[in-house]
């Protein structure tokens, strides 16, 4: 069902308190910095953060300065989830021994797509399997941006990066984006969700839910990166919205195994609108765009099926061939 809060793009209900202080060195218009700021507002003061190296660590903690207004630990590229596990176990022991007050302290781990889908996958899988009570947030800008835009396994098909360049020999990333939410959900944890800084209330609700539910929770946040994506510095939020509206990055959650699309569309926008706006997809042929379009529709249909909806309509144009029981108008009121 279309969320009532989907048309809210500026969140006045969020606290004015900043936990990621201004003055950090993120590039102008960084979608990840916007997302982190919102996530931290949702998490509040009672949190311990374990942050893998990546853009957000580099831009927010040039020694001896820090933008973090909450307890924050820098960890290596590969072990954010392992460090968060240790923090969670340590806090539990301190509470049991009466050394600290027995109140809820959220433990959160954060890493980029490289730190999550590639090098940190083993630590994450282990922490999920052990069942630590923590929230893991992956900020997905779809490449190793901090070190100069190298591909990761979350880089989308056809995207040009320095290690998957688009030229005569190869046309960008040759593989499909790794599906991290599904990989995490396969661990059988209580909560997995996708979120986008372009839908702030949806993002905030998911952060709060993930932090409150017992056991591990995972949030996958799309984080447009203007220099890495080859777009102007005012484009991040518009693109994050377009990614959702085209079905390239659907917003959904999996709570206790139950899928729910949190922002449903009767008709998706064409993926070409999203791809053609970005330098990393320049030179993409109409055939490749069509290939991506078909895959996006197929994945969208699969997601709708999992979200307990029934198939009723035939596919026309870009419409999904699955229609939700409780149909809702979608793009109306979606102002830029
Ligand atoms: C073991 C190890 N290998 C490589 C590096 C270098 N390195 C630091 S951050 C990074 C890429 C981070 O990419 P991602 O996790 O996607 O975060 P982003 O910078 O894109 O936000 C790399 C390769 C490292 N610090 N440690
Ligand atoms: S390189 Fe990209 S992700 Fe990193 S700070 Fe700049 S805009 Fe943000
Ligand atoms: Mg990245």
Predicted local confidence at residue 34, as pLDDT = 97
Which residue ranges have their beta carbon within 6 Å of ligand 1?
53-55, 77-78, 111-115, 141, 144-147, 152
SS3 of the chain: helix, strand, coil, percent, to 5: 35, 15, 50
Work out the pLDDT band at 308, boundaries 50, 70, 90. Answer: confident
Residue 230 CA from chain centroid, whole number: 19
C-alpha distances in Å from residue 199, one per residue of 4, 86, 213, 302: 11, 32, 22, 23
Predicted local confidence at residue 315, as pLDDT = 40
State the average pLDDT for the chain. 91
Q: What is the pLDDT of residues 12-42, one digit of tens each?
A: 778 899 999 999 999 999 999 999 999 999 9
Going by alpha carbons, the residue nearest to atom 4 of ligand 2 is 55
Residue 280 has pLDDT above 60, yes or no: yes
Q: What is the pLDDT of residues 218-251, one digit of tens each?
A: 999 999 999 999 999 999 999 999 999 999 999 9
Select from 27, 60, 142, 146 the residue to mutate for testing ligand 2; criterion: most ligand atoms less than 8 Å from CB. 27
| Domains of the chain by start residue, with CATH | 4-306 (3.40.50.970)
Give dist(CA 88, CA 244) in Å, integer.
33
Residue 298 has pLDDT above 90, yes or no: yes
Going by alpha carbons, the residue nearest to atom 5 of ligand 2 is 26
Q: What is the pLDDT of residues 38-62, one digit of tens each?
A: 999 999 999 999 999 999 999 999 9
Work out the pLDDT band at 310, boundaries 50, 70, 90. Answer: very low
Question: Which ranges of 132-185 would DSSP assign to H, the alpha helix?
Answer: 180-185
Residue 10 has pLDDT above 90, yes or no: no
The answer to whether the beta carbons of residues 113 and 142 sit under 8 Å apart is yes
């Amino acid at each position: 069902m279309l969320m009532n809060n989907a048309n809210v793009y500026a969140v006045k209900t969020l606290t004015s308190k900043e936990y990621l202080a201004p003055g950090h060195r993120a590039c102008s218009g960084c979608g990840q910095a916007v997302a982190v700021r919102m996530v931290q507002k949702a998490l509040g003061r009672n949190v311990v953060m374990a942050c893998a190296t990546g853009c957000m660590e580099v831009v927010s903690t040039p020694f001896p300065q820090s933008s973090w207004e909450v307890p924050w630990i820098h960890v290596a590229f590969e072990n954010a989830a392992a460090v968060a596990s240790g923090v969670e176990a340590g806090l539990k022991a301190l509470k049991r021994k009466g050394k600290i007050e027995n109140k809820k302290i959220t433990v959160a781990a954060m890493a980029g797509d490289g730190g999550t889908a590639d090098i940190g996958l083993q630590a994450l899988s282990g922490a999920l399997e052990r069942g630590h009570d923590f929230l893991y947030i992956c900020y997905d800008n779809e490449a190793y941006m901090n070190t100069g835009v190298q591909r990761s396994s979350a880089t989308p098909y056809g995207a040009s990066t320095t290690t998957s360049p688009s030229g005569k020999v190869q046309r960008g990333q040759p593989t499909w984006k790794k599906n991290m939410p599904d990989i995490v959900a396969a661990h059988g944890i209580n909560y997995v969700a996708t979120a986008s800084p372009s839908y702030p209330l949806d993002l905030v609700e998911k952060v709060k839910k993930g932090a409150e539910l017992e056991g591990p929770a995972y949030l996958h946040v799309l984080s447009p990166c203007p220099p890495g994506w080859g777009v102007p510095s005012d484009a991040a939020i518009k693109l994050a919205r377009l990614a959702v509206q085209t079905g390239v990055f659907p917003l959904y959650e999996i709570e206790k195994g139950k899928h729910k699309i949190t922002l449903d569309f009767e008709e998706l926008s064409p993926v070409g609108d999203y791809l053609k706006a970005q330098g990393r997809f320049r030179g993409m042929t109409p055939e490749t765009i069509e290939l991506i379009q078909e895959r996006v529709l197929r994945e969208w249909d699969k997601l709708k099926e999992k979200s307990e909806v029934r198939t009723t309509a035939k596919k026309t144009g870009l419409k999904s061939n699955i229609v939700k029981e409780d149909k809702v108008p979608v793009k109306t009121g979606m102002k830029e």
